[in-house]
Structures are given as C-alpha cells and as structure tokens.
Homo-oligomer: A and B are copies of this chain.
Amino acid sequence: MYAYEFIKDAIIQGKYEPGMRLAEETLAKELNLSRTPVREAIKQLEAEGLLVPLKRGVSVRHFTKDDIRQIYDLRTLLEGYGASQAAINRTDDDLKRMETANQLYEKAITQYIESDMDSIKEIVDVNQEFHNSIVAASKNAHIFFHISKVVVVPVVFRSFYWYNHFQLQQSLEVHKIILQAIKNKEPERARIAMHEHIFQGRDHVLRHLEEIKNSHLLKEEDS
C-alpha cells in the first residue's frame, strides 16, 4: 500500500495540514497513481480516524484541546493498564528488551544534549520502542491496536521537538521508575508511574499549544 503510507506520512509530517480538504484527483496526481488505489487508502485512513469524511471528500483531522485531553486520558488508561499487566506477565526476555530500549533512549538523549540536534529523530523512535516493549510484555495483543490509534496525537503534534534538556532528563527518570516497578513485579506502582509519565506528556503538549496559540494544528474553538 504505497498510497496509504504516503498520505499518512504527509499528514504526520504536517505537509497536509489539519482541516485541509483532500480531493481524490489531486492526491492521485501528486502520487502519479489513478484514483482507485488512492480511494482505498483514504477509506483506511478514515477507518483509523486520521481523515474525517465531508459531504464531499475528506479532510485531515484536527484536534481541539478537549480532543487532546480526552485522547491522552485514554492513552493513560491503556498504557497504564499495559504497564500493570507487564509487571505481572513479563518474562526475563521481555525485561531485557525494555532495558535495552531504555539504554538506547538514554544514549540518544545524551547525544542530543551534546548538541547533536539530529538525534531527536532517534529519541522519538527509541522512546516508541520502549513503550512498545512494555505493551508487548503485557501479553495482551489487542492493546496494540488501540494504542496505535491513540498515539497519533503526540505524533502529529511532533511534541518531542519542543522538549528541553531538563524535560528529556526527567522523562528518562520516569522511564527508569516504570522499569524498576516492572522488574520488581509491582503492577500498581508500574501503572501509577506510567500514568504520571503520560500525563506529563499531555501537559507538555497543552502548555506548548497555549504558548504558540495560533498553531495551525489546533482548531480555534473548543466547543
């Protein structure tokens, strides 16, 4: 599915801005494809909630502050549950994978602080990897489906790009607490730590949006 990847990427990269209307023919031309495969890609992205149907055609989804809060609340719920289950069900191999991911995370942050700006991309990827390794250890294969839908928000907002050194360090520390709780098989502690971690992420996004205010990403009015 080339068309699917392309459009999804364009949305995440901000090339297609939230609220922007997308016509099939236009997309088809941009991709050097006919409308047929483009339409299928659109249908999928609609089912995933990244595109919203209009009377005619679709537009890129945008988020109000309420949306962001609500989606983060769900993410907290889901990943918190994932962490608690991971603390119960993790194998030693699972633990090893989490630790490895978090070591890479630490390394990427160190590199970034030593002013290698390019390593932000690495930080994002390795952070994702860490979170995934926890969910994988929970042994509930279906969480992935839901989490992937709920993680698009920080991704489309590219929230990592506005973390400062201190905030990155701080998130690393929380990662370590989560890891410790899972290692010790303390589900409640793991859940609470994960809750806190994701709420921090939510507040980070909301605070930033408050600052830049006129972000094209955010819909003007919260109903």
Contact = CB atoms under 8 A, between A and B. Distances in A.
Interface of A: 36, 39-40, 43-44, 46-49, 67, 70-71, 73-74, 77-78, 81, 140-143, 145-146, 149-150
A105 to B, nearest CB: 27
A74 B146 contact: yes
A142 B47 contact: no
28 contacts: A36-B36, A39-B40, A40-B40, A40-B43, A43-B44, A43-B47, A44-B44, A44-B46, A47-B47, A47-B48, A49-B145, A67-B141, A67-B142, A70-B140, A70-B142, A70-B143, A71-B142, A73-B140, A74-B78, A74-B142, A74-B143, A74-B146, A77-B77, A77-B78, A77-B81, A142-B150, A145-B149, A146-B146
Contacts of A143: 70, 74
Contacts of A47: 43-44, 47-48
A70 B142 CA distance: 7
